[in-house]
Amino acid sequence: MATEYNAYISDETIEGADEGPLAGQTVAVKDNISTKGVQTTCGSSMLAGYVPPYDATVVERLTAAGATVPGKTNMDEFGMGTTTETSAYGPVENPAAPGHVPGGSSGGSAAVVAAGDADMALGTDTGGSIRCPAAFCGVVGIKPTYGLVSRYGLVAYANSLEQIGPIAPTVEEAAELLEVIAGPDEHDATTRDHEGATEGLADAADGDVDGLSIGVPTELVDGADEAVVETFWDAIDELETRGASYHEVDLPSVEHAVEAYYVIAMSEASSNLARFDGVRYGQSGGYEGNWNESFANAREDGFGEEVKRRVLLGTYALSAGYHDKYYKKAQDARAWVKQDFDSALDEADVLASPTMPIPPMEMGESLDDPLTMYLADANTTPVNLANLPAISVPAGETDDGLPVGLQLVGPAFGEKQLIRAGSALA
Amino acid sequence: MSESVVDPDEVRHVADLARVDLDDDEVERFTEQFADILSYFETLDEVPEVEREAELTNVMRPDETHEGLSQDEALENAPDSEAGHFKGPKVS
């Protein structure tokens, strides 16, 4: 089941139960989610050949619900990228926009759904990694509230930010998959049992937006590409004709979200990725001599450039003399973003913006300039900082035929609100 | 915005702390890119001090033994092992 757009790293099938809400459906799984007995690489050479001895909770739940996993999807190495070009297994091409990137880091997952090679897929979202590829490939992606879905078995990049979530052709199907994977897990102490948060999600996809109040953060629209903004307003018009209303809101804190996100994510990554020393798992390279040098050589071989960049910058931000300047300020910014969103959501049911400020980039275009790539995450990263749920739904296409996504953000554990509103469009 | 000073020695020092060997080309590229990225991070100086009211609750569980991985399973992915132990590079 290899694809011409390179969306799978491995195509080993994992059979699901005979019966259940997902019986007969295929759900592709991003390759940073552990699958017992099936290679899990995180898109890295470091983990080539790594075979987890246990299943992630989400994999247990979806196979118990009857889904078959058709393969493990390609991704930016350890989730670090916005284009799915940093994978050690080669870049993924966007099946909905040939010659362009599928977005990242869950690019393989969005691509197989867009191409119809899998019914649905699981991605992970640390700073937009489900919503960005969903937007670029013209499909639906949900980043759940922090704590709704278990992260047990997800190979960690930045624990305080990331969530596993569904990618599907329609909001209703994404909601069905979310309903299966959501809910508390004794193996992940950050999951929460929030009353009513996990039931009736699929039923909420009734497209009823009559009376819905939409806040539009001007900061997340003003900087976007003209063609994207035009498509965005067309989608808001569509929601208005169906009974919704919108007003503009100010979120001054989001101007600092990208830098706060990257400082926090890189800092957490520098600590999380310390485990890859080629002793318990991973590639050792077989180096002899001083053990610190052996580890440094193994990590030089095993990690790609973007991973090294983030591990080093995270190490720098946490090192003596810089902690207060970068990490502490980033935590202040995170709290500020959260307060801003909370007050905007006191006056609106959902907040809407373009998911990505730009249409899908051409392949190979963004690799030389990491800062420009980071800035493409301007609209998605604030949501992870605020621990809130968000959905990306197809809003239409630019005149050049490139997919544009609409992002809706809701209050914590307000997934139903997002599903209801999003289902009016897809 | 103050100018952040990143020189190749600093990149090598951080790489050393992070146990990542770099070749000279990488050091050169990273020196240039880190200057850009770090000066962008410095806009965090404009962020006001924010009262952080974390609504956090400790999650406890009974301290009971459960079935875990067997020794063989735990060693399955290790590049090298000996007599039931992980085997790493020499310490000296």
* Distant-in-sequence, close-in-space partners of A20: CB < 8 Å, separation ≥ 6: A64, A65, A66, A67
For B44, which of A281, A291, A330 is closest by C-beta distance? A330
Catalytic residue set of A? 30, 105, 129
Q: What is the pLDDT of residue A1?
A: 53
What does residue B7 show for φ and ψ, rounded to 5 degrees? -120, 165
For A329, which of B19, B23, B44 is closest by C-beta distance? B44
Distance of CA B64 to the CA centre of its chain: 31
B49 chain-A contacts, CB cut-off 8 A: 332
Name the 3-class secondary structure at A121: strand
Chain A contact probe: residue of B6, B41, B69 with most A CBs at under 10 A? B41
Which of B27, B80, B19, B15 is CA-nearest to residue A285?
B80
Angle between helix A257-272 and B24-41 (nearest 10): 140
Domain A2-253+335-422 has CATH 3.90.1300.10: yes
Report the distance separating Cα A231 and Cα A226, nearest Å: 9
The answer to whether B18 contacts chain A (CB < 8 Å) is yes
For every one of its 426 residues, what pLDDT tens digit does chain A have, with 9 covering 90 and above? 568 999 999 999 999 999 999 999 999 999 999 999 999 999 999 999 999 999 999 999 999 999 999 999 999 999 999 999 999 999 999 999 999 999 999 999 999 999 999 999 999 999 999 999 999 999 999 999 999 999 999 999 999 999 999 999 999 999 999 999 999 999 999 999 999 999 999 999 999 999 999 999 999 999 999 999 999 999 999 999 999 999 999 999 999 999 999 999 999 999 999 999 999 999 999 898 889 999 999 999 999 999 999 999 999 999 988 999 999 999 999 999 999 999 999 999 999 999 999 999 999 998 889 999 999 999 999 999 999 999 999 999 999 999 999 999 999 999 999 999 999 999
The interface predicted TM-score of the complex, written ipTM, equals 0.94
Distance of CA A201 to the CA centre of its chain: 20
User: How far is the CA of B65 from the CAs of A71, A389, B58, B61, B62, in angstroms?
Assistant: 34, 35, 20, 11, 9
- According to DSSP, the residues that pair with A217 across neighbouring strands are A249
**pLDDT beyond 50 at B1:** no
User: Chain B residue closest to A39 (CA)?
Assistant: B77
Q: Which domains does chain B have, with CATH numbers?
A: 8-45 (1.10.20)
How many angstroms separate the CA of residue B24 from the nearest CA in chain A?
A: 12
pLDDT in tens, B36-83: 999 999 999 999 988 887 778 888 889 999 899 999 999 999 999 999
Q: Do residue A308 and residue B20 have CB atoms under 8 angstroms apart?
A: yes
B9 chain-A contacts, CB cut-off 8 A: none
CB contact residues (below 8 A), chain B span 19-78, against chain A: 19-23, 26, 30, 33-34, 36-38, 40-41, 43-52, 59, 61, 69, 73-74, 76-78
User: Chain B residue closest to A253 (CA)?
Assistant: B47
Q: Do residue B50 and residue A281 have CB atoms under 8 angstroms apart?
A: no
User: Chain B residue closest to A302 (CA)?
Assistant: B20
- Residue the block writes with tokens 């350890």: A78
Q: Do residue B36 and residue A371 have CB atoms under 8 angstroms apart?
A: yes
Strands A350-354 and A213-217: parallel
User: How far is the CA of B59 from the CAs of A41, A186, A188, A189, B62, in angstroms?
Assistant: 31, 10, 10, 6, 10
Q: Do residue B41 and residue A317 have CB atoms under 8 angstroms apart?
A: yes
How many angstroms separate the CA of residue A285 from the nearest CA in chain B?
A: 9
- Local confidence band at B2 (pLDDT 50, 70, 90 cut-offs): very low
The answer to whether B79 contacts chain A (CB < 8 Å) is yes
Rg of chain B over Cα atoms, rounded to whole angstroms, equals 23
For A259, which of B26, B43, B51 is closest by C-beta distance? B43
In order, the DSSP letters of A187-220 are TBTT----TTSSSSTGGG-S---TT-EEEEETHH
Q: What is the pTM of this model?
A: 0.97
Instruction: Please give the sequence-ordered ranges of beta strands (E in DSSP) within A13-118, or none if there are none.
Output: 27-30, 72-73
Report the distance separating Cα A79 and Cα A156, nearest Å: 9
